[in-house]
Amino acid sequence: MLYGTSGWAQHKNEITATLDGRTKEIHIKQRFTYVNNSETGLSNLYFNDWNHAYANKNTKLAKRFSEEFNRSLHLAKEKERGWTEIKTIVGKDYSGLDWERLGNRDIISINLDKALPPGESIELFFTYTIKLPDAKFTTYGHYPTGEYYLRDWYLTPAVFDKEWRLYDNVNLNDLYTDTMQTSINLTYPSRLFLSTNFNQQGATRFPGGQYIQLKGSDRKSCDIILSTIKRFTKHVTSSLTITTDLESNKYDDISQGISINKIAQFLTENLGAYPHDNLLVSEYDYNTQPLYGINQLPPFIRPYEEQFQFELKFLKTAIRNFLKETLFLDPRKERWINDAIGYYLMIKFVEEYYPEQKLAGKLSKIWGFRSFHLAKMDFNEQYAFFSMLSARKNIDQALTTPNDSLIKFNQKIANGYKAGLGMSYLSEYLGEKKVDSSIVAFYKRYSLKPRVDASDFRKIIKAFSNKNVDWFFDEYVATDKKIDYKIKKIEKTEDSIQVVLKNKRGTNVPISLFGLQKDSVVSHYWFSDIDTSKTVTIPRMGEDRLVLNYDQKIPEFNQRDNWKTLNGFFSSNKKLKFQFFKDTEDPYYNQIFYVPVVNFNVYDGVTPGLRIYNKTFLERPFQYDIAPTYSFLEKTVVGKASLRYRKYHQKTGLYASTYSFSGSTSHFQTNSRFTTLTPAVSLSWRPNDLISNRRQTLLLRYRSVFRNIDDSLVDEIDTEPDYGVLNLRYWDVDNDILNYTSWFLDAQHSSDFTKLAFEMEYRKLFQSNRQLNLRFYAGKFIRNQTNSNFFSFALDRPTDYLFDLAYLGRSEDSGIYSQQIIIAEGGFKSQLENPFANDWIATTNASTNIWRWIEAYGDIGFIKNKGEDARFVYDSGIRLNLVTDYFELYFPVYSKRGWEIAQNDYGERIRFVVTISPRTLIGLFTRKWF
């Protein structure tokens, strides 16, 4: 093995690659000169092989997808996958080197014949083939149109920083590798146009193909876009050269060029000179991290002017790539620094060029909508709003949380917004010039440096500060503590105001206090070092109101108690504001929302009504929800109401307790009403891994049921009309799309019975793409003094005496509504004779897919009534599993009744599952974010 001596130096990477357009493979020969810049001898070298993340169903990427309810990679066909086939790895003397892939990871380990001393280098020669994945998984790979987007496609060295930083590809765009001097000789199909972040040289064409040489120094990775049309344009500005395909159909090319020049100048002034010859800003990059919120509405209802829309879209993508190509932090462990700088610059850009821009854009001027608080919010207020959306749900995470440990909503939105907002907060506290100067100094000092970390950023910020800023790094950045202050009381004199400020959460960070005269700011102060409470005295400047955090630069948990009036007690009372539909939180009003609702069941028919509630887009501890509706069939008022108080304790373990009182009233037969009243308390747990979909809940409730029964039906009701049931239930659910497991233990006690029930459900998606669904249910009466089956266990359609299930026609025993099935208790699909058990029941339900969403199902079980022998029951059939738990059809084939499919009334035996609750359906689409 031959070694060369060198000081601190870049690795040298020379690649010869040929893209085969037919097979979607790239054949690569790579000569890599690895320089040991550490102080430790290295016996092993590690290389990132992120293209291999698509190889099978057991990679970290596949697991990440399943956690986000995405089965695409698990169900992918072999031709859609990507992989790397390494043929040889040899040293300079052409002797083969031992290497291995670390398990099923995207990392390969190379064993050196002898340790590579500090300061010396070694040449490695790789020969391998990569199969590009279908771009439908992560946007990287090959497209059906014949286009390609190549990122992280060749082998790159992992970083050794006292220890090896070995990170897998989990679709976070955070490859961590050393800087290199890279040269790529690429051969590719003739019909394609190439765009890249590297410098291009020696482009030539030949029969059947093209050749180009790409070069980059102080670069980490080469991005290549191969398109079927020439859609990228080069903009040469006085600051830097930008290659882009971002465009707007309604914003002309000349105006786009002016906007790009403005953004280039803005970046240069607020960061510094871009050290490379070309900045690539692509639509592909934008789509991996778009502008979230109103910006994602369909183009025909976009509320923003085309110039603003284009500039913000371009700015976000340009900043991201600008920083990625120049500041070489650990993107998995310290991405918050790039977020802080990037989003701060976005906030600054809007303040500078669009100070009057509203978050809702042109919608804020529309009659009806303009009265909403959302319509009055400035564009930059979204950063506090979205970061607080996470905090109010108690899923916010510290900015120092590793990128791969963030909940998707935090990873995509909330943490970046909080980081940028934090810099804006710091700017207000220290002064804008100090923060702006520190960012420029940090960029100038550490741009293209191979090693930079958060401590370097902290040193620069502190160097430009004339105040203590440890709170920013130790409290704001490093923890998930909430910021929450209030004005406890005020005392006035002729020339001064004494204010008592209370720190409600103990998070010791500065707080701003504004004095307002009508709506004009007449005084502004900052106060710090408030552990619990602090009394401050300020001069009177004509204020009629004092407000904490008036400009909302601080992401404060609760702003509803941030103000006090100086005009007496009665003027301190917030006014009521009745408003149509849900809105953002307005701290200066007690908001009451109303919205029309429509429900349906067979006995009440269509029941329109009005829902009155106080829930804003941000969750709040106390919520009420009242929804009276009118039954046209019964000509009376029905509906429901609830009061709820939720207290969050911590992120993991016992994280929440909820106290509630609810009531509902409706009809269960003609002229027969039921009413329920339910006080309840629940405790909720979640695991240490916040990304995990596992949840555990303990519920204790007492349900009182009151029934008014029509005189003609009295003889048909064989139980007392009124009853109460004490119910204790414990759930454990792991809602994984590949391995779903759930179980509960339920205990019920009333004056007439005591019973226990247990249910376990398991769904498994196998490597063969076959899914198996298993469910087991068992129930036993400890005592049963009833004389009817109303409280008995049921095989196929429980009586639902607790009125928990959303039956459209709960008392129907014939017709279409009797065919609705809700999988509960026995879970049978066939309607068998004598389906009730007043002693015990044990059943098993199973199904497996035949083709796509067509499944075969079977149910078996035993039921036993008092004084009788246990009966064995079974059924089977075909299940159309269109959307699991939301829309399903069951076609019975054979059961204990015989061949059901041959019966004359077969149409009446078909069962269906349907969900019409909008809230439940919305949860199907939002679950992957939280």
Q: What is the pLDDT of residues 701-743, one digit of tens each?
A: 999 999 998 887 776 777 889 999 999 999 999 988 889 999 9
Spell out a b/e string for 58-91, using b for 16 or more CB atoms within 10 Å of the CB, else e: ebbbbbbbbbebbbebbebeeebbbbbebeebeb
- Tally of domains in the chain: 4
Give pLDDT, residue 40: 94
Range with lowest mean pLDDT among 325-329, 735-739, 917-921:
917-921
* Mean pLDDT within 617-639: 95
pLDDT at residue 128 tops 90 = yes
Residue tagged 């990304």 (tokens): 691
Question: Domain check: are 421 and 497 in the same one?
Answer: no
Give pLDDT, residue 3: 39
Q: Is residue 606 part of a domain?
A: no
User: Is the distance from CB of 46 to CB of 111 less than 8 angstroms?
Assistant: no
C-alpha span between 527 and 726 (Å, rounded): 52
Q: Is residue 471 part of a domain?
A: yes
C-alpha span between 106 and 48 (Å, rounded): 6
Write down the mean pLDDT value for the chain.
92
What DSSP string runs through 49-96?
Answer: -GGGGGSSTTSHHHHHHHHTT--TTTT--GGG--EEEEEEEEETT--B
Question: Domain check: are 389 and 491 in the same one?
Answer: no
Question: Domain check: are 35 and 166 in the same one?
Answer: yes
Rg (CA), the chain: 33
pLDDT at residue 573 tops 90 = no
Q: pLDDT tens, 809-868? A: 998 888 999 999 999 999 999 999 999 999 999 999 999 999 888 999 999 999 999 999
Question: Domain check: are 142 and 50 in the same one?
Answer: yes
C-alpha span between 540 and 516 (Å, rounded): 11
Provide the pLDDT confidence category of residue 481 given band limits of 50, 70 and 90.
very high
Question: Domain check: are 431 and 504 in the same one?
Answer: no
Q: What separation in angstroms does the CA of 415 have from each of 339, 410, 533, 649?
A: 8, 5, 29, 21
894 bridge partner residues: 876, 899
Domain boundary among 477, 503, 527: 477
Question: Domain check: are 520 and 548 in the same one?
Answer: yes
Most confident of 68-77, 492-501, 543-552, 743-752: 743-752
Residue ranges making up the domain that contains 433: 336-477
Q: Is residue 114 part of a domain?
A: yes
Give pLDDT, residue 921: 57
User: Is the distance from CB of 528 to CB of 521 less than 8 angstroms?
Assistant: no
Q: pLDDT tens, 830-847? A: 999 999 999 999 999 999
Domain boundary among 442, 477, 512: 477
Q: Is residue 911 part of a domain?
A: yes
pLDDT at residue 881 tops 90 = no
User: What CATH number is attached to the domain comprising 17?
Assistant: 2.60.40.1730
* Mean pLDDT within 393-415: 95
Question: Domain check: are 345 and 436 in the same one?
Answer: yes
Half-sphere exposure of 135 (CA within 13 A, CB side): 19
Question: Domain check: are 163 and 19 in the same one?
Answer: yes
Retrieve residue 763's tokens: 């769904």
Domain boundary among 169, 201, 227: 227
Q: Is residue 234 part of a domain?
A: no
pLDDT at residue 930 tops 70 = no
Which amino acid type is present at position 56? N
User: Which helix H or strand E contains 245, and what residues bound it?
Assistant: none
pLDDT at residue 76 tops 70 = yes
Q: Is residue 828 part of a domain?
A: yes
Which amino acid type is present at position 453? D
Question: Domain check: are 461 and 489 in the same one?
Answer: no
Q: Is residue 716 part of a domain?
A: no
Q: Is residue 430 part of a domain?
A: yes
Question: Domain check: are 381 and 443 in the same one?
Answer: yes
Provide the pLDDT confidence category of residue 1 given band limits of 50, 70 and 90.
very low
* Mean pLDDT within 73-84: 93
User: Is the distance from CB of 781 to CB of 746 less than 8 angstroms?
Assistant: no
Give pLDDT, residue 572: 56
Question: Domain check: are 114 and 171 in the same one?
Answer: yes
pLDDT at residue 88 tops 80 = yes
User: What CATH number is attached to the domain comprising 447?
Assistant: 1.10.390.10
Q: What is the DSSP letter of 694?
A: E
| Helix, strand, coil fractions of the chain, as percent rounded to 5 | 20, 40, 40
Question: Domain check: are 73 and 201 in the same one?
Answer: yes
Q: What separation in angstroms does the CA of 743 have from each of 735, 758, 808, 837, 867?
A: 11, 7, 26, 22, 30
User: What CATH number is attached to the domain comprising 561?
Assistant: 2.60.40.10
Query: What percentage of the chain has pLDDT greater than the value 70?
Result: 96
